[in-house]
Amino acid sequence: MKPTLRILLCLTLLPLLLGCTGHRRYAALLDEAEQANRVGRSLPSENQMLEVARHYDRWWIPRKQRIRSRYLLGCVYRDLNNTPRALDNYQQAVALGNGSKNVEVLGYLMRTHSQMAGIFEKQRLLDKEETELLLAKETSLLIQDTLSTLIFRELLCNLLYNKEQYKECIEGSRQLYESFLQSGFRDEGVLSLYLCIKSYMQLEEYGLAKRYLDLYESCSYFSDNPNKVKGGLGALYILKGRYYLGIEKNDSAEFYFRKGLLYGNLGNNELLAYKGLYKTFAMSNVADSVLKYTLLYSDAKERSYNEGVAEATIQAKELYDYTIEQREAKKKEREASWLKMGILAVSMVSILTALSLLYSYYVCKG
């Protein structure tokens, strides 16, 4: 083969080779992001995942890869606490996946709806949270993912509790417990009774609460490896404290609320333990302890409130920045569109002018 032809062949194949190398790199990044997301490790950087999403955002790319890249980019923004961008990418993933019957695509849809439900739960947008949980549950049924379906049902029960619909929560929780048992998930079913117990206590039905509390405490998760479920163990002690407070056994209530404080840095355990202790000492008329734990409860509540305000402020700023960015992007898109139209118009005029000149030339010549 002549040297010139070799050079031309290499130049022709170079873009294809570079494209294949780039595709392998993006596929590896996507796999790395998915694995990290599953085990709770840090995902690749925002810039890397943006590059990946743009690479896959082409009409000829299989839908599974496109929805996967958008879902994982949403998870990157989730970890950065950038709610607007997380929701935007999740919504793009949903739009790409809607109507698909592919099991893998539906799996990503299910996880996407679940992530959006989590965001709305933090924002206390209960109706939106419910919508996303129902969609996630419906999708899990389509792909016959029994455990996920049960988990979404549990989250819907938790939503009923947050809406103070305690009787409905009890009914849903008891049915859920039976479903867990029938599906072979005994321990998960026992742990799901947490909502049932709390609801009975809200209704001051302590006899029924105790029946399910004893069953809840029998879960092997607590006896086999207590360190595995520190948050859950703290919640158990606080539940027991609330039960004994409800039946006016103040010494036992104090004992369990203090045990709950051992796990005070997990979830709302600290807040609930201090609240339980000041109520216990108020019932026992121990004024100095009432004052002490009222102040501690007030401080813990204020910290929780300030953290919520700080997060809301960050989210408001992110939303403002995102809105400005979207406005600029739309402006640039319009400008690019007008530029393309202008170039097209000039090209058409040039072609018509050239044709007219050619026509005039041949007419005059003839």
Convert the pLDDT of each residue in 217-269 to its tens digit.
Answer: 888 777 655 455 555 788 889 999 999 999 999 999 999 999 888 875 555 77
- Checking if the pLDDT of 86 tops 70, the result is yes
pLDDT score for 337: 55
Q: In percent, how much of the chain has pLDDT > 70?
A: 71
Average pLDDT, the chain: 80
Residue 193 near residue 177, CB atoms below 8 Å: yes
pLDDT digits (tens, 9 = 90+) for 282-301: 887 777 776 776 776 666 66
- Band of pLDDT at residue 146, cut at 50, 70 and 90: very high
Of 201, 122, 114, 208, the residue nearest 152 (C-alpha): 114
Q: Using the predicted structure, report yes or no on whether residue 318 has a pLDDT greater than 60.
A: no
- Long-range own/partner contacts, residues 224-232 (CB < 8 A, 24 or more apart): 230/263, 230/266, 231/263, 231/266, 231/267, 231/269, 232/191
172 pLDDT above the threshold of 90: yes
| Residue 115 contacts residue 96 (beta carbons within 8 Å) | no
Within 10 angstroms of residue 214's Cβ, the number of other Cβ atoms is 10
The answer to whether 168 and 156 are in contact (CB under 8 A) is no
Between the CA of residue 221 and those of 194, 199, 352, what are the distances in Å?
14, 22, 80
What's the pLDDT tens digit per position in 33-51? 999 998 888 898 999 999 9
For 307, the 3-state DSSP assignment is: helix
**Higher model confidence: residue 345 or residue 260?**
260
User: Among 29, 87, 84, which Cα is nearest to 55's?
Assistant: 29
Q: Taking the CB of residue 258, how many other CB atoms lie within 10 A of it? A: 15
Q: What's the angle, vertex CA 269, arms to CA 265 and CA 274, rounded to 5?
A: 105
Residue 246 confidence (pLDDT) = 93
Tokens, residue 312: 């809301």
Sequence-separated contacts (24+) of 201-208 with Cβ below 8 Å:
201/239, 201/242, 201/243, 201/246, 202/164, 202/166, 203/166, 203/167, 204/246, 206/243, 206/246, 206/247
Query: Residue 41: what are its φ and ψ, rounded to 5°?
Result: -90, 170
Do 258 and 238 touch, CB atoms closer than 8 A?
Answer: no
